[in-house]
Amino acid sequence: MIEVDGVSKWFGDVVAVSEVSFSLGAGVTALLGPNGAGKSTMLRLLCGLLPPDRGTLRVLGRDPRTDLGVLRHIGLVPQQETVFDSQDALDFVRLAAVMHGVEGPDAAARAALATVELDPDDRRRLATYSRGMRQRVKVAQAIVHDPWVIVLDEPLTGLDPRQRRHMTELFHALGDQGRCVIVSSHVLDEVERFGSDVLVIAQGRLAAEGDFRAIRDLMDDRPHRLRIRTDQPHRVAGHLLAAGTIMGIEMVDDDTVLVETTDVGAFRRSVAGVARQVDAHLWEVVPLDDDLDSVFRYLVGRP
Amino acid sequence: MTVTAPGSGAAARVRAPGSFLAVYRLMLRNQVTAGRLVAVGALGVLGLLLGAAVAASTPVDPVDAGTTLIDHYGFQVLVPVVALVFASSTLGDLVDDRTLVYLWLRPVSRLTVAAAASLAAFTVCLPAVAVPLVLAAALTGGGPALVGGTAVAALVGVVGYVGLFSALGMRFRRALVWGLVYILLWEGFVANASRTASRLSLRAYTRSVLSEYTGVGLDQASLPFAAAIAVPVVLGLVLVLYTGHRLRHTDVD
């Protein structure tokens, strides 16, 4: 449904998307990457909101930038919170339905609002809506015309846990109906809930793609750095090194040592036992690079 | 939710009847804010007060005095400023607050969106300037020629300025500033400097219409009547086409 071939996009000297290629079919695909990685730019390219500077991009075999007809089959939840504040939810979604040529736009708008658990008869202006309610209205306008390709840029932002679960189920249901649903997020756990195929984008490049579990394993297998604070850092680190649990040591000061391991699970299981064994007090064990940015940096930098 | 098959590979023609009206209504609702209404209302009331003041001064030639007032206040200030405020914001506000995406990502001709937006600005601007100006012209005692000339010149001016400032709003981020530069510097100074420059000033056309009706000679009012009517109208329409073109090729946030 989506074919992206060697697409690059730059703004002045800044390369936002670099030589990205992938293809997507039906189902839910998560676009994962840290803030500023190029996710939103990629999604804007997919919807034709921006022209690529290099490469080609096709949605349902057509160019979304120049072919108005294909926009009938695309729904987008943009990242920005702003909506038409002078309208109420029903008017906002109905406008989308009318402009997409939906038959019975009023009924379609009501159904879409009901799908996201909003009251179509709530005639308050959107300006009075909470962040989460606006987010749901944005989802409603993106699905009111039954699009085949649904692009959602950080759609769970501002939603409470129950609504997050409901939206995740909705995205899965849409994917199960044969639609191509692409959801961006910078939150790893959020993407895990989508339980789907993943595209990892970092620094404008496609860092990894495939099944989420495989990518998660890849992320877990990378070298991890941890800081250990103990009254006997030399002995603790020495025993861990001898056992093959860690592969590098860097002494920081009298009670702190940095260690590197490729097997965090084994390290976690053994560090307390080693401390007991050498009669050391373990004060602190802190992972230093578990944030997403370092994960993405690793993925981009690996061969 | 029903699932229907997507169109064939060929560019399917999309029919979205009612889009023009839907966008038009949206734009009207977006434009008419309390702050703008108060500001425009105040400008209109000021025009009425000036008209009454001219009448109260019992001028020797009421037509001349009334024409001068309508020209200076109406076509130098009220018409361009009101058109700038409404027309530059009609699409410009959507660009600024990043809501343009909700119109752009629809299978609707960009010209339809541009035309609906410009018509909405025209709908708001025309009564906002024509009503107080016509009333002010009547108050001055300038007679039916002044009233008629004011009405026609206001209509022609609003068409031209709305087209110009709608396009400006789509072209520039700070359209209000660029519009003021045009009104104050170009129309206020540069257009006075040469005959050629005055041809590129909408004010010369509205002045020519007013002068034709009242017979009062005004600076830059030397254009043939037909040209004074046709040029702003054609310019306005051409600029709507340009706005649609810009909309089609713009990068959308």
Query: What's the pLDDT score for residue A195?
Result: 64
Distances (CA, A) of B34 to A175, A246, B31, B223: 45, 68, 9, 38
**pLDDT tens, residue by residue, B150-167:** 999 999 999 999 999 999
- Which residues, in sequence order, are CB contacts of A242 under 8 Å at separation 6+? none
Q: Which residue has the higher pLDDT, B216 or A73?
A: A73
Indicate the residue type of A277: Q
Using an 8 Å Cβ cutoff, are A206 and A194 in contact? Answer: no
Task: List b or e across A61-74, with b for residues whose CB sees 16 or more CB atoms inside 10 angstroms.
Answer: ebebbebbbbbbbb
Q: Please determine, for residue A297, whether its predicted confidence score (pLDDT) is greater than 70.
A: no
Query: What's the pLDDT score for residue B5?
Result: 43
Query: What's the pLDDT score for residue B16?
Result: 66
Share of chain B above pLDDT 90, in %: 64
Q: Please determine, for residue B11, whether its predicted confidence score (pLDDT) is greater than 50.
A: no
Query: What's the pLDDT score for residue B73?
Result: 92
Q: Please determine, for residue B13, whether its predicted confidence score (pLDDT) is greater than 60.
A: no
Q: Please determine, for residue A29, whether its predicted confidence score (pLDDT) is greater than 80.
A: yes
Q: How many CB atoms are closer than 10 A to CB A211? A: 12
Residue A282: its H or E element: strand A282-287
Alpha-carbon torsion angle A141, A146, A147, A148, nearest 10:
150
Using an 8 Å Cβ cutoff, are A163 and A88 in contact? Answer: no
Rounded to whole angstroms, the Cα distance separating B115 from A11 reads 30
Mean pLDDT of A102-115: 94
The alpha carbon of residue B243 is apart from the nearest alpha carbon of chain A, in Å, by: 17
ipTM of this complex prediction, to 2 decimal places = 0.83
Using an 8 Å Cβ cutoff, are A195 and A188 in contact? Answer: no
Query: What's the pLDDT score for residue A294?
Result: 62
Q: Do B29 and A60 touch (CB under 8 A)?
A: no
Rounded to whole angstroms, the Cα distance separating A55 from A266 reads 45
Residue A189: its H or E element: helix A188-194
Q: What is the pTM of this model?
A: 0.81
Q: Do A99 and B4 touch (CB under 8 A)?
A: no
Using an 8 Å Cβ cutoff, are B120 and B93 in contact? Answer: no
Provide the sign of the torsion angle of the four alpha carbons A81, A82, A88, A92, taken in this order. negative
Size of interface A-B (CB pairs under 8 A): 110
Angle, helix A131-143 to helix A89-99, in steps of 10 degrees: 20
Of A50-54, A58-62, A251-255, the range with the lowest mean pLDDT is: A251-255
User: Six-digit token pair at B136?
Assistant: 């002010």
Query: Residue B9: which pLDDT band, with cuts at 50, 70 and 90?
Result: very low
**pLDDT tens, residue by residue, B22-59:** 999 999 999 888 898 899 999 999 999 999 998 888 77
Q: Do A100 and B106 touch (CB under 8 A)?
A: yes
Of A38-42, A61-65, B8-12, the range with the lowest mean pLDDT is: B8-12
- Which residues, in sequence order, are CB contacts of A173 under 8 Å at separation 6+? none
Nearest to A98 among B14, B19, B99 (CB): B19
Query: What's the pLDDT score for residue B60?
Result: 79
Using an 8 Å Cβ cutoff, are A92 and A83 in contact? Answer: yes
CA-nearest of B7, B153, B18, B17 to B73 is B153
- Residues of chain B found within 8 Å of residue A178, distances taken between Cβ atoms: 3
Mean pLDDT of B207-236: 88
Q: Are strands A282-287 and A224-230 parallel, antiparallel or unpaired?
A: antiparallel
Taking chain A, what is the end-to-end CA distance rounded to the nearest angstrom? 30
* Domains present along chain A, CATH in parentheses: 2-219 (3.40.50.300), 222-301 (3.30.70)
Phi and psi of A60, rounded to 5°? 55, 35
Nearest to A82 among B12, B23, B99 (CB): B99
- Residues of chain B found within 8 Å of residue A71, distances taken between Cβ atoms: 14, 105-107
